[in-house]
């Protein structure tokens, strides 16, 4: 009766959710992408129980989203920072943010807007483009079976 795992699922959406799709992980990742690094920072910012935070940090490290590094202030403690795999989650955070900005019933309760660092102007909405540059909506896309990977010819003829 364990929580059902999505790890073996063939759907890439499910596979992503299996890695960080629980109630707290994405918020930890959000905090990490805002520069928070220490256990106590996460705990104070998120207000979650310490045991939960401990297990979440552990599994995020196991799964290659975060890694531990020696503390930047020279103390003997450790800090948690995003790996490249973790930084890759950024577009997902942006998409979540933009959905709330567009559809939330109380947009006045949103505290922040995302701006580009250079000009300080709000960023544009994430755009899905076709290879020839058209903007695509959900209805303009389909799923195709992934073409089979090339098998090693070398073995076939050996």
Partner DNA sequence: TTGTGTGGTTGCAATATTAAACCTGATGCT
Partner DNA sequence: AGCATCAGGTTTAATATTGCAACCACACAA
Footprint of DNA (CB under 7 A): 1-4, 22-24, 38-41, 47-52, 54-55, 57, 71, 75-79
**Least distance in angstroms from the C-beta of 38 to a copy of itself:** 19
Question: How many residues does this entry show for the chain?
Answer: 158
What count of other Cβ atoms lies within 10 Å of the Cβ of residue 16?
A: 13
Among DNA, a copy of itself, none, what binds residue 11 when CB lies within 5 to 8 Å by partner kind? Answer: a copy of itself
Which of 33, 78 has the CB closer to DNA?
A: 78
**Least distance in angstroms from the C-beta of 98 to a copy of itself:** 7
**Least distance in angstroms from the C-beta of 1 to DNA:** 4
In sequence order, the 6+-apart residues with CB closer than 8 A to the CB of 83 are 64, 65, 66, 67
Whole-number Cα distances in Å, 37 to 123, 137, 142, 145 = 26, 37, 40, 40
Choosing from 2, 74, 108, 154, the residue that interacts with a copy of itself (CB under 8 A) is: 108
Among DNA, a copy of itself, none, what binds residue 70 when CB lies within 5 to 8 Å by partner kind? Answer: none
Site string for a copy of itself, 119-148 (x = CB under 8 A): xxxxxx-xxxxxxx-x-xxxxxxxxxxx--
**Least distance in angstroms from the C-beta of 84 to DNA:** 22
Among a copy of itself, DNA, none, what binds residue 72 when CB lies within 5 to 8 Å by partner kind? Answer: none
In sequence order, the 6+-apart residues with CB closer than 8 A to the CB of 130 are 136, 140
Size of the site for a copy of itself (CB under 8 A): 78
68 three-class SS: strand
Among a copy of itself, DNA, none, what binds residue 85 when CB lies within 5 to 8 Å by partner kind? Answer: a copy of itself
Whole-number Cα distances in Å, 6 to 16, 25, 59, 104 = 9, 16, 15, 29
Compute the distance between CA of residue 22 and CA of residue 53 in angstroms, rounded to an integer: 12
What count of other Cβ atoms lies within 10 Å of the Cβ of residue 36?
A: 19
């Amino acid at each position: 009766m364990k929580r059902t795992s999505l790890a073996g699922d063939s759907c890439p959406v499910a596979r992503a959710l299996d890695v960080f799709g629980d109630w707290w992980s994405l918020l930890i990742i959000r905090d990490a992408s805002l520069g928070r690094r220490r256990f106590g920072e996460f705990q104070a910012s998120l207000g979650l129980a310490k045991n939960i935070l401990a297990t979440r940090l552990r599994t995020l490290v196991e799964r290659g989203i975060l890694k531990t590094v020696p503390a930047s202030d020279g103390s003997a403690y450790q800090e948690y920072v995003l790996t490249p795999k973790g930084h890759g989650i950024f577009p997902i955070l942006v998409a979540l943010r933009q959905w709330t900005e567009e559809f939330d019933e109380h947009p006045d309760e949103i505290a922040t807007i995302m701006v580009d660092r250079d000009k300080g102007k709000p960023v544009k909405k994430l755009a899905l483009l076709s290879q020839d540059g058209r903007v695509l909506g959900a209805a303009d896309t389909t799923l195709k079976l992934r073409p089979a990977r090339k098998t090693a010819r070398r073995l076939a003829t050996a």
